[in-house]
């Protein structure tokens, strides 16, 4: 089926996923760069602020980790067509990410405030991590961050694609380069308030735990190839020169 003959509902879904998914990522990036926007002031005191922010953060983490697991996807396919699964996951993640960034409450408690050269170093690390994140994402063949690929394949009469197993770019240095750059974006902030520490702490713990769970799925999918990759390449921190490896999982 040619693109001009695609059903209107399919076109609207593709546009919506790209618009809301991309918009939530841009908004979250700005949130990490400049701090809370504060469009909604709930008038909370310092203690309840942290409780509220923790709830927002944990809601996003639980949804994001639960829906991406292979077991959840298999159960969901009993109710949702497989080609729509990633797109609906993207929309659900976007809703919670919008809620996190727009409803986040800033704490008045300042723990660390960098000045002078240290502040510029922190800002420099943040700026350097942005193209690093893009590099890590686009190093994956058939890059499809929002799940529109399976929808297009279905409309064109194609079956599900089998992703290759090939190492390239930052995946030679670390098994999860996108997560590494997210960690840099989280912590390379010059004004560490109580809510920022909460955000960085919860998301760091979630990234570590989520990576461990994700790698269980990858071992199940790729077997001994991924086990060998685990042995030779660090998980999150690129602390050594990459070895001569030739293959890695595409996700």
**Would the pLDDT of 185 be above 80?**
yes
- Contact between 211 and 179 under an 8 Å Cβ cutoff? The reply is yes
Lowest model confidence (mean pLDDT) among 58-72, 98-112, 118-132, 177-191? 58-72
**pLDDT (average), residues 159-170:** 72
Strands (E), 25-159: 110-113
The pLDDT tens digits of the residues spanning 236-250 come to 999 888 766 444 444
The pLDDT of 216-241, averaged and rounded, is 89
Q: How far apart are CA 36 and CA 105, in angstroms?
A: 7
Phi, psi of 46 (to 5 degrees): -55, -40
Structure tokens given for 55 = 């709830």
| Residue ranges covered by each domain of the chain | 3-232
**Contact present, 92 and 63 (Cβ < 8 Å):** yes
Kindly state the helix (H) or strand (E) to which residue 101 belongs, with its residue range: helix 85-103
Q: What percent of the chain has pLDDT over 90?
A: 53
Reading the block at residue 189, the tokens are: 């902030």
Q: What pLDDT sits at residue 5?
A: 57
pLDDT for 199-217, tens place per residue? 999 999 999 998 998 898 8
Task: State pLDDT tens for residues 39-87.
Answer: 899 999 999 999 999 999 999 999 988 887 767 777 777 777 777 778 8
pLDDT at 122: 95
Q: How many Cα atoms occupy the beta-carbon half-sphere of 36 within 13 Å?
A: 22
pTM attached to this predicted model: 0.85
Please, which residues bridge with residue 193 across strands?
A: 110
The whole-number pLDDT of residue 140 equals 78
Asked if 202 and 57 touch (Cβ cutoff 8 Å), the reply is yes
Contact 142, 168 (CB under 8 A): no
Half-sphere exposure of 94 (CA within 13 A, CB side): 20
pLDDT tens profile 91-110: 999 999 999 999 999 999 99
């Amino acid at each position: 089926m040619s693109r001009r003959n695609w059903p209107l509902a399919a076109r609207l879904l593709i546009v919506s996923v790209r618009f809301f998914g991309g918009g939530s990522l841009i908004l979250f990036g700005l949130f990490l760069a400049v701090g809370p926007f504060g469009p909604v002031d709930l008038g909370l005191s310092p203690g309840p602020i942290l409780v509220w922010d923790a709830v927002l953060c944990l809601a996003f983490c639980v949804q994001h980790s639960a829906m991406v697991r292979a077991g959840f996807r298999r159960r969901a396919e009993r109710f949702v067509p497989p080609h729509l699964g990633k797109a609906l996951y993207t929309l659900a993640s976007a809703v919670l990410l919008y809620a996190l960034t727009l409803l986040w409450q800033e704490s008045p408690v300042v723990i660390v405030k960098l000045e002078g050269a240290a502040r510029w170093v922190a800002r420099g690390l943040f700026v350097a991590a942005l193209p690093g994140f893009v590099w890590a994402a686009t190093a994956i063949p058939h890059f499809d961050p929002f799940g529109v690929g399976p929808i297009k394949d279905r409309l064109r009469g194609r079956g599900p694609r089998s992703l290759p197993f090939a190492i390239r770019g930052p995946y030679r240095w670390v098994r999860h380069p996108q997560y590494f750059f997210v960690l840099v974006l989280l912590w390379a902030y010059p004004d560490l308030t109580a809510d920022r520490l909460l955000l960085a702490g919860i998301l760091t713990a979630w990234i570590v735990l989520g990576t461990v769970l994700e790698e269980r799925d990858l071992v199940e999918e790729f077997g001994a190839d991924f086990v060998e990759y685990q042995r030779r390449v660090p998980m999150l921190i690129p602390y050594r020169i990459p070895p001569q490896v030739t293959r890695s999982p595409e996700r």
